[in-house]
């Protein structure tokens, strides 16, 4: 049975998963790019964007393991792009170029429907305008037995936490202070399930914590 998981979601020591003032030049907000520096220092992280080189070891291994078994991803519209309101045209196709690093169906939560976008490498973006449960139902069906990843951003993860739908919450705690922005667990009002520690490991760059629903 498909599980609903969050994997390797980076947050700062003070709990922020994005900095303030998100815009086209700062898609993760001011200073938010520092949350992901560790990813692109790893071999797997560089492979995700078509690069080579990079480090191996704990961070690389856990990043790679976090991508295994995922059959579909759900993300919020803010994660897909900076455009608000009605889609002015079909030009915006995501931040990731013609070959996004997903390679499976991706369901984008939105209030403004749009036709699916088929990309290179097996990624197709589907736009879901009728809520988080509909997106989850579609993702579970598309995953064909694989897990469904809630990719972000903050608001999307919070919505699934509040609904009690996340089975596993994997966080990468980066030793920086952002000071402001969007906190993942602030006012998240986690739903009825309890979570217990299922994994803890740390490199000199990131502390990896995995919480599992009881």
Whole-number pLDDT of residue 187: 60
SS3 assignment, position 169: strand
Per-residue pLDDT, 192: 56
pLDDT score of 50: 87
pLDDT value at 51 more than 80: yes
For the cut 70, the answer to whether the pLDDT of residue 190 exceeds it is no
The structure tokens listed for 101 are 């690093």
pLDDT digits (tens, 9 = 90+) for 66-83: 999 999 999 999 999 988
User: Which CATH number do you get for residue 106?
Assistant: 3.40.430.10
Q: Rounded mean pLDDT of 118-128?
A: 97
> Which range of residues forms the domain containing residue 84?
4-213
pLDDT band at residue 21 under the 50/70/90 scheme:
confident
The C-alpha atoms of residue 202 and residue 206 are separated, in whole angstroms, by 6
Question: Chain-wide mean pLDDT for the chain?
Answer: 93
The stretch 161-176 carries a mean pLDDT of 95
φ and ψ of 166, to 5 deg: -95, 125
Instruction: Report the C-alpha gap between 53 and 28 in whole angstroms.
Output: 25
Q: Which residues contact 194 (CB under 8 A, 6 or more apart)?
A: 213, 214
The pLDDT confidence band at residue 61, using thresholds 50, 70 and 90, is very high
Answer whether 0.85 is exceeded by the pTM: yes
Number of structural domains (the chain) is 1
Of all residues in the chain, the percent with pLDDT exceeding 90 is 85
* The predicted structure's pLDDT at residue 189: 62
What's the CA gap between 170 and 89, in Å, rounded? 36
Cα–Cα dist 15/13, whole Å: 5
Q: What is the pLDDT of residues 88-108, one digit of tens each?
A: 998 999 999 999 999 999 999
Say whether pLDDT at 193 is over 70: no
Distances (CA, A) of 3 to 10, 23, 71, 73: 20, 32, 10, 12
């Amino acid at each position: 049975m498909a599980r609903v998981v969050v994997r390797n979601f980076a947050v700062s020591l003070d709990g922020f998963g994005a900095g303030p003032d998100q815009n086209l030049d700062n898609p993760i907000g001011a200073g938010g790019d520092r949350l992901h520096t560790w990813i692109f220092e790893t071999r797997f992280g560089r492979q995700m964007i078509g690069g080579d080189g990079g480090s191996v070891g704990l961070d690389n291994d856990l990043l790679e393991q976090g991508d295994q078994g995922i059959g579909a991803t759900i993300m919020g519209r803010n994660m897909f792009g900076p455009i608000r309101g009605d889609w002015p045209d079909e030009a915006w196709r995501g931040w990731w170029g013609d070959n996004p690093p997903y390679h499976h169906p991706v369901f984008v939560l939105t209030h403004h429907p749009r036709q699916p976008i088929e990309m290179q490498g097996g990624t197709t973006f589907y736009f879901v305008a009728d809520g988080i449960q509909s997106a989850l139902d579609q993702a579970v069906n598309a995953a064909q037995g694989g897990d469904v990843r809630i990719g972000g951003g903050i608001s999307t993860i919070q919505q699934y936490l509040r609904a009690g739908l996340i089975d596993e919450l994997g966080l990468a705690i980066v030793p920086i202070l952002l000071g402001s922005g969007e906190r993942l667990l602030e006012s998240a009002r986690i739903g009825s399930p309890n979570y217990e520690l299922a994994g803890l490991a740390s490199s000199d760059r990131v502390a990896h914590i995995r919480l599992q629903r009881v």
